């Protein structure tokens, strides 16, 4: 007789074992899948966080670069103002112009934002700011120097103006004195007499009758003048009729002279040496024709000015 297995044995039947084995494999697969999913999730999360960090870093870098570039622009403008001010004060602007050219070159470049770029630019900004501070000190000193020079120049100008005024006053005084001397040195004709000489040589005083006049005789003294120099003089006389016409005859010694910027005729002249002795002069003029009735004017001139005058009448 075949042995029979007792009922209620603990060994599973083959189908049950296979099923258990399959269940175990499924669990392993699920666990592996879960782990893969978790790992991928962690990787995606970490990648995302790294991307965010990089974006934040890039944004910060670009912002920092923009701030630095703006500061460079501001420094360039400050340099331009400093250059203009120092030039006006007479200082040396070569160093500032070189720095400004470097900044303009830096601003014109197209660069990617990176930490090295930012660091280099910041170093340059720091250097330019130190340069600006040094130039502020230089400008302050230049202002002090210019202020002192301005004070000195103002003082010198004041002294120069005072001296100029004094010289002008001295010149004016000299001119006034010269004018006064010139005026005082003018000779005067005094005791002027106009006589008519007839054919017989007899002299008559004004008024005259036309037929009695063969010649007109003029006599006068030159008044004493201690200011006038002893020198030669050309004394001129002219006879002016009632119509304002000068009696002259070039053939008899008449001529022209300048008086108040105009050329005038004279009737007769005489060269003398003025010696301040109240010397008496005498002129005789023969007209050659009868004098028309009227009031005549006798004038005496020398050196372009009038020495005196006298009237006489012909009836």
Chain-centre distance for alpha carbon 157: 17
Bridge pairing between strands 189-197 and 262-266: unpaired
Q: Work out the number of other CB atoms within 10 angstroms of the CB of residue 4.
A: 6
Instruction: State the Cα–Cα distance between residues 36 and 189, nearest whole angstrom.
Output: 145
Q: Answer yes or no: is 4 within a domain.
A: no
Same domain, 144 and 244: no
Q: Answer yes or no: is 93 within a domain.
A: yes
pLDDT tens, per residue, the chain with 315 residues: 444 444 444 555 566 777 777 777 777 888 777 787 887 778 787 777 776 666 655 566 667 777 877 887 888 888 888 888 888 888 888 888 888 788 777 777 645 555 566 677 777 777 878 888 887 888 888 888 888 888 888 888 888 888 888 888 888 888 888 888 889 999 999 999 999 999 889 999 989 888 889 999 999 999 999 999 999 999 999 999 999 999 999 999 999 999 999 999 999 999 999 999 999 999 999 988 889 999 999 999 999 999 999 999 999
Q: Which domain holds residue 129?
A: 16-184
Q: Answer yes or no: is 1 within a domain.
A: no
Query: Which residue, 184, 209, 242, sits at the end of a domain?
Result: 184
Same domain, 151 and 207: no
- pLDDT attached to residue 61: 66
> What are the angstrom distances between the C-alpha of 27 and each of 22, 23, 32?
9, 6, 9
* Cβ proximity of 299 and 240 under 8 Å: yes
Instruction: State the Cα–Cα distance between residues 152 and 135, nearest whole angstrom.
Output: 25
Same domain, 31 and 173: yes
pTM > 0.85: yes or no = no
Query: Which residue, 168, 184, 200, sits at the end of a domain?
Result: 184
- pLDDT attached to residue 11: 53
**Tokens linked to 26:** 């499924």
* Cβ proximity of 285 and 215 under 8 Å: yes
SS (H, E, C) 39-80: HHHHHHHHHHHHHHHHHHHHHHHHHHHHHHHHHHHHHHHHHH
Q: Answer yes or no: is 205 within a domain.
A: yes
Q: Answer yes or no: is 7 within a domain.
A: no
Instruction: State the Cα–Cα distance between residues 215 and 205, nearest whole angstrom.
Output: 12
User: Shortest CA distance to 257 belongs to which of 273, 239, 238, 231?
Assistant: 238
- pLDDT attached to residue 220: 97
Q: Work out the number of other CB atoms within 10 angstroms of the CB of residue 24.
A: 10
User: Shortest CA distance to 93 belongs to which of 103, 102, 104, 84?
Assistant: 84
**Tokens linked to 268:** 């007769």
Same domain, 238 and 272: yes
In eight-state DSSP terms, residue 212 is G
Q: Answer yes or no: is 122 within a domain.
A: yes
**Tokens linked to 288:** 């050659």
**Tokens linked to 250:** 């070039």
In CATH, what number is assigned to the domain containing residue 233?
2.60.40.1930
Lookup result for tokens 């030159």:
222
**Tokens linked to 295:** 């009031």
Same domain, 151 and 246: no
* Cβ proximity of 144 and 89 under 8 Å: no
Query: Which residue, 143, 162, 184, sits at the end of a domain?
Result: 184
Question: Given strand 280-285, what is the order of strands in its sheet?
Answer: 203-205, 189-197, 215-222, 280-285
Same domain, 197 and 132: no
> What are the angstrom distances between the C-alpha of 234 and each of 17, 260, 303?
170, 17, 7
Helix ranges (H only) for the chain are: 14-89, 94-108, 115-184
């Amino acid at each position: 007789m075949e042995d029979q297995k007792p009922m209620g044995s603990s060994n599973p039947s083959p189908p049950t074992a296979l099923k258990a084995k399959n269940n175990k494999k499924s669990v392993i697969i699920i666990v592996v899948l879960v782990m893969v999913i978790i790992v991928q999730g962690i990787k995606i999360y970490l990648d995302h966080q790294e991307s965010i960090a990089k974006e934040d870093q890039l944004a910060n870098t670009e912002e920092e670069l923009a701030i630095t570039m703006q500061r460079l622009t501001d420094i360039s403008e400050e340099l331009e103002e400093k250059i203009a001010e120092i030039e006006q004060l007479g200082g040396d602007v070569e160093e500032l112009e070189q720095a400004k050219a470097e900044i303009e070159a830096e601003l014109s470049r197209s660069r990617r934002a990176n930490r090295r770029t930012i660091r280099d630019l910041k170093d340059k900004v720091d250097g330019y700011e130190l340069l600006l501070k040094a130039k502020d000190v230089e400008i302050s000193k230049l202002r002090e120097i210019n202020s002192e020079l301005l004070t000195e120049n103002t003082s010198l100008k004041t002294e120069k103006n005072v001296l100029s005024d004094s010289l002008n006053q001295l010149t004016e005084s000299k001119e006034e004195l010269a004018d006064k001397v010139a005026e005082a040195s003018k000779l005067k004709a005094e005791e002027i007499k106009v006589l008519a000489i007839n054919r017989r040589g007899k002299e008559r005083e004004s008024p005259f009758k036309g037929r009695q006049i063969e010649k007109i005789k003029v006599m006068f003294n030159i008044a004493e003048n201690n200011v006038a120099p002893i020198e030669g003089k050309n004394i001129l006389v002219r006879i002016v009729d009632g119509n304002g016409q000068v009696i002259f005859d070039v053939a008899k010694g008449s001529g022209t002279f300048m008086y108040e910027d105009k050329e005038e005729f004279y009737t007769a002249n005489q060269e003398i040496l003025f010696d301040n002795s109240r010397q008496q002069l005498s002129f005789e003029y023969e007209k050659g024709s009868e004098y028309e009735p009227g009031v005549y004017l006798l004038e005496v001139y020398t050196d372009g000015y009038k020495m005196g005058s006298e009237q006489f009448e012909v009836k």
